[in-house]
Chains A and B, each alone.
Chain A
Amino acid sequence: MIVRISDDALARALGADELAAAFERKGHEVQRTSSWGMHWLEPLVEVDGMGFGPATLADVDAILDGSSDKAIGEIVEHPFIARQQRLTFARAGKTRPTSLEDYEATGGWIGLRRARQIGGAAVVEEVLASGLRGRGGAGFPTGIKWKTVANTPAEQKYIVCNADEGDSGTFADRMVMEGDPFALIEGMAIAGEAVGATQGYIYVRSEYPDAIRKLDEALRLGASIIAPFRCEVRVGAGAYVCGEETSLLNSLEGKRGEVRAKPPLPAIEGLFGKPTVVNNVLTLAAVPHILTEGGASLYDTLGVARSKGTMPIQLAGNIKHGGLFETAFGITLRELVYDIGGGTQSGRPVKAVQVGGPLGAYIHPDQFDIRFDYEEYTEADALIGHGGITVFDDTADMGAMARFAMEFCAAESCGKCTPCRIGAVRGIELIDRIRAGGRPADAVELMPVMHNAPKTGRLPEQEIGLLTDLCETMKFGSLCALGGFTPYPVMSALRHWPEDFMPREGAKVPEGSEA
């Protein structure tokens, strides 16, 4: 009997390796595949298309004799899978990640072969026509970026894959790299064909050891297929800000991961000053499908308004059915959180949902009719980001989460621009003072010579005014999204849950804290 168990990092963290070994000891062939993305069922065991999960070592015998109470029925019929429209994740759960044979058998390399046939200019046209937008967060039209690089003359151009997926609540990049690495590599080779680049770099964060190992393996196996295009993996070093494209380029060059001012755009002066395509993993992994016959026009028919195609949405945090859900744009948050996600894991009411990682806004259940669409989120003062959705139940302290957003920004700021470097620290202090109920007048304010200064200290409302001002400055004065978007979680938490910023029970105004 053939038993299929994922070798995705999440499944392995939950004991998939031990489970696989147990089935092998019983004399069965175990195939290690990518993950279906139903994370609450991992480790998921598949026998003849039927699923069993979450499986433990104690379930092995029952699964084999068909009496297991962990049976979920046929996996492809499972509502979580059946409701999806998988293009980027078409192979998820079905193939062995580093098997060239499996990749070829499921339509691999068709896009690259066709790209080579129709030539670079036509490839750019097709990507433009598909309406594909950058999946890293900014949503910039991919075709336009590629066109810029293609039209900039240079002896050397680069394709850089941004695989520094640092946002909490996101794991789609990781799942592509671990589950379908050839798709990413093919997408990069197609990009190389489109713009005339022969060298690619995949910048992966060091927190993803499995992804690094599998990409290295896949690149070794696929080197002759993508030649003359060459590609290698570079490993980050624990800096969140390196997910920002210009600081990623600095890091690749061997410098501090500090943000560069734009212009010049990386498309014109990028890695080592050469024209460079910098795209997210999901963007590049969507390309092979788009380049198949009719792929671009299919992509364009999916989605709503200017958000075309599908988005791999990641359901995370306190959610019952967490995992990867790829669907066309336009789905509402209500459907995602309740119908698909099944509400909270803890069974308590949903209090807030953060969409778009640590820099995304906290969304109140009253706003759950918002549709997944770049423009609709922008209008609601929120962002899609990388498509991560983190659910919180009613025990969450939103004042503490707002403080954490500032703390995170302070810890991860590259230090290049003032609003982010200093603003984040001042933000922590302000939130602490608001939650402490304001502060007394400090020694300078009390000096007789400071006759215009208030002598009564500052009330929480006044501190909130300051925080609002600070957020405004960070939003418009920061060089990149780290400082620029940290105000989203802070201000949205303040707007929707002001009671969480009220002085807590027993909080005292700290005596002379400013003196």
Chain B
Amino acid sequence: MSTREERVAEIVAAHAGREGPLLPILHDVQHALGCVDAESEAQIAKALNLSRADVHGVVSFYHDFTARPDPRPEVQICRAEACKARGVEALIPAAEQAAGDRVRLSTVYCLGLCSAGPAARTGDRLHARLDAAGLTQVIENAR
């Protein structure tokens, strides 16, 4: 048995008996493996007595689950209305330049820091009141 299979089996077992266990399982798998790939989908489907199509439908519906791992560090930048009103769009070119190929920039719609935007998130760490220099710093520090 490969380690991936073991990890997924452990995660599924840890959620046994819960109501509606699929989302918590997928979160844990995504966290442990960096993605929910086709093999994991099949394994989870079998364990929960669902069809692979059902599980794939759920995985592909939510932005948080990805089919392939991306080893690059991620910086999420809020580009919703409140951050737009505070000028986030003007920071994007500098952010893209700072990120290059090393950091994955992703757009998020709202981190709930709307009175102090522009805002960004790396891991569980939040950053607010960013200007071009601040955002560049966040991106350069992303590991």
Question: Interface residues, chain A, CB within 8 Å of chain B?
Answer: 9-10, 12-14, 39-40, 42, 165-171, 174, 199, 206-210, 234-240, 251-258, 272, 314-319, 322-323, 345, 354, 357-358, 388, 390-393, 396, 401, 404, 408, 411-412, 414
Contact = CB atoms under 8 A, between A and B. Distances in A.
Interface stretch (B4-12, B20-28, B67-75, B93-101): B20-28
A168 B88 CA distance: 13
A385 to B, nearest CB: 12
When A and B form their complex, which 5 residue pairs have the shortest distance between CB atoms, in order from nearest?
Answer: A322-B115, A254-B22, A168-B80, A238-B63, A316-B114
Contact of B82 (A14, A168, A258): A168
7 contacts: A13-B113, A39-B116, A168-B114, A169-B114, A207-B110, A316-B117, A358-B81
B82 A13 contact: no
A40 to B, nearest CB: 7
Contacts of B129: 14
A319 B115 contact: yes
A439 to B, nearest CB: 26
B142 interface: no
Nearest to B120: A13
Given A13-B127, A239-B62, A40 B23 contact: no
Contacts of A401: 81, 84
Contact of A322 (B21, B109, B111, B116): B116
A317 B128 contact: no
B63 A390 contact: no
Contact of A404 (B23, B81, B127): B81
A168 B128 contact: no
A345 B126 contact: no
B86 A237 contact: no
B61 A40 contact: no
B109 A12 contact: no
Contacts of A13: 113, 116, 119, 126-128
Given A167-B110, A168-B83, A257 B62 contact: yes
B27 A317 contact: no
A322 B62 CA distance: 31
A382 to B, nearest CB: 15
Given A13-B119, A168-B83, A254-B58, A174 B20 contact: no
B86 A345 contact: yes
Contacts of A256: 57-58, 61
B108 interface: yes
A206 B124 contact: no
Contacts of A358: 80-81, 109
A207 B114 CA distance: 13
Contacts of A209: 124
Interface residue tally on B, bucketed by range = 35 or more
Given A168-B83, A238-B64, A40 B21 contact: no
A14 to B, nearest CB: 5
B83 A207 contact: no
Nearest to A249: B20
A171 B121 contact: no
B65 A237 contact: yes
A235 B27 contact: yes
Contacts of B110: 166-168, 207
A136 to B, nearest CB: 15
B38 interface: no
Interface of B: 19-24, 26-27, 54, 57-58, 61-65, 78, 80-86, 108-117, 119, 121, 124, 126-129
Nearest to A252: B20
B85 A39 contact: no
Contacts of A322: 114-116
Given A207-B110, A390-B82, A237 B19 contact: no
A254 B113 contact: no
Contacts of B54: 255
A257 B58 CA distance: 8
B65 A314 contact: no
Nearest to A241: B61
Given A235-B23, A237-B64, A412-B109, 18 more contacts: A10-B113, A10-B128, A13-B116, A39-B115, A169-B114, A207-B108, A238-B108, A240-B109, A252-B20, A254-B20, A254-B21, A255-B54, A257-B62, A317-B81, A317-B82, A388-B82, A390-B82, A404-B81
Most buried by A among B23, B115, B119: B115
Contacts of B83: 168
Contact of A166 (B109, B113, B121, B124): B109
Contacts of B109: 166, 168, 240, 358, 408, 411-412
Contacts of A170: 112, 114
B62 A391 contact: no
Contacts of A391: 85
B112 A255 contact: no
Contacts of A411: 109
Contacts of B127: 13
A415 B65 CA distance: 18
Most buried by B among A174, A237, A272, A358: A237
Contacts of A237: 23, 26-27, 62-65
Nearest to B121: A207
Nearest to A42: B116
Contacts of A316: 82, 85, 114-115, 117
Given A166-B110, A169-B82, A317-B85, A40 B115 contact: yes
A239 B112 contact: no
Contacts of B119: 13
A169 B84 CA distance: 11
B83 to A, nearest CB: 7
B86 A10 contact: no
B126 A390 contact: no
Given A235-B27, A254-B20, A254-B21, A171 B85 contact: no
Nearest to B61: A256
